[in-house]
Amino acid sequence: MTPTTETMVGIGGAAESTDMVLNIGPQHPSTHGVLRLKLVLDGERIRHAEPVIGYMHRGAEKLFEARDYRQIIMLANRHDWLSAFSNELGVVLAVERMLGMEVPERAVWLRTLLAELNRVLNHLMFLGSYPLELGGITPIFYAFREREELQHVMEEISGGRMHYMFNRVGGLKEDLPAGWTTRARASVADVRSRMDRFDDLVLGNEIFRGRTRGVGTLTAEAVHAYGVSGPIGRASGVDFDLRRDEPYLAYGDLQDTLKVVTRQEGDCLARFECLLEQTHNALDLADACLDRLAELPPGPVNQRLPKVLKAPEGHTYAWTENPLGINGYYLVSKGEKTPYRLKLRSASYNNIQALTELLPGTLVADMVAILGSMFFVVGDIDK
C-alpha cells in the first residue's frame, strides 16, 4: 500500500484584518467622466475613500491669462458642459463689475430666463441618468425627450446646443428672434405637463427608494466643512441659495416665485428630491421671466464696447448659483486687455471632496448610488 501524505493549508486569522485596495476608474464608463476612486475595503465595506482627480485637466485658469475678455467666455463656457450658459454668466458679471457697467434691463431679464432654462436642462440629465445607474433605464428616455424640447428654443436663440456662447460683456449677443417667447412659453408648458412622470416613475418606485433612503447621509456640519453647495448642500438642511440670499440679475424681483428647496435627511433620496423639486421651480421662474419680458418695451440687449476692451486695475469677486452649486470668479486685472489672474471656484470641485466623508462605512454595492447622487461633472472638477 502506497503511503499518503496529508497536508493542511491555512491562511490563519491574519487575513480577516487584511485590507484590499480597489481602484474604480479612471476608465470613462466607471463614473460621470474620467474620475478615479481609490477605495480601501474591509470585506465588502469601504474603510477609506480617496477621489483622484486631474485626468481631464485642461489648464483653463492659465489660459485665461492669455485670452482677452471676449475670448475667456469661450473657455469658461466649457468646464461644466451641462451648465454652459451659467458658466458664461459668472465671467461676464465679474468683468462688468470691474468696469462698473450697467446692463440694459431687457438683457437682465433675458439672462435670468436663459439661466433658469439652462438649470432645467442640467437637472433633467441627472434626473434621467441617476435612475439609470441604479438599473432603471426608462427615465433617461423621458429626460432626453424633455431636454430636446428645451434644447430647440435654446438652439434657436443662440445657435448652439451645448456651448451657447450667447453672453457678452455688457449684455447678450443679439435680441430674440421673432416669436421666440411664444415658442419658449409653449416648450416650458409642455415640459411641465410631463414632469410628474419622474415623481411617479422614480420617486414612486419602491426599489429606487430602497436603494437610496438612508444611504450616503451627509451631515450639515460636513456640508459647511467641505464647502458643499447647491442641491446637495440643501438636501442636508443647509438653507442657502445665492438667488435669494445675495440676489443678482433679476432674482431680487422674483422672490415671490423663487422657492429654495431643502430637506433634512441628507441621504441619496433627499438629494434626488431636491433636484426634482428645484426643476419644477426653475420652470416657474422661466414663466415669470417670460411674463416680465412681455411687459418690457423693445430696447437694446447689450452695450456698445470699444474695439479693445480693458478692465481697470484692481480685483473683484463674482459668484452665481449655478445648477450644481456655487460658482465663484476671482478676477485680478493690471489694466490690460487680458486678465492678470482669473481663479474659478467650481461647484463640483468642492462637492466631490465630500466623498471622503460619505463613502467610509458604506458597502461597495451602495457606492454607485452615493456617487451618482452627488450630481457632478468631471470637467467642473478638473477645469
Q: Are 208 and 134 in contact (CB under 8 A)?
A: yes
Which stretches of the chain are DSSP H helices?
60-64, 72-76, 84-99, 105-133, 138-158, 180-194, 196-198, 206-212, 220-226, 230-234, 242-245, 268-295, 347-353, 355-358, 367-372, 378-382
What is the model's pTM? Answer: 0.91
Amino acid in position 333: S
pLDDT of 59 reads 87
Stretch 74-102: mean pLDDT, rounded? Answer: 92
pLDDT of 250 reads 96
For the stretch 235-270, pLDDT in tens is 999 999 999 999 999 999 999 999 999 999 999 999
Nearest 10 degrees: CA dihedral of 304, 309, 315, 319?
50
- In this predicted structure, the answer to whether residue 380 has a pLDDT above a threshold of 60 is yes
- Confidence at 28, pLDDT banded by 50, 70, 90: low
How far is CA 133 from each of CA 37, 323, 353, 373, 383, rounded to the nearest angstrom?
Answer: 17, 21, 21, 10, 25
For the stretch 32-76, pLDDT in tens is 668 889 999 998 999 999 999 888 888 889 999 999 999 999 999
For the stretch 301-349, pLDDT in tens is 999 999 999 999 999 999 999 999 999 999 999 999 999 999 999 999 9
Question: 343: which 3 cell numbers?
Answer: 481663479
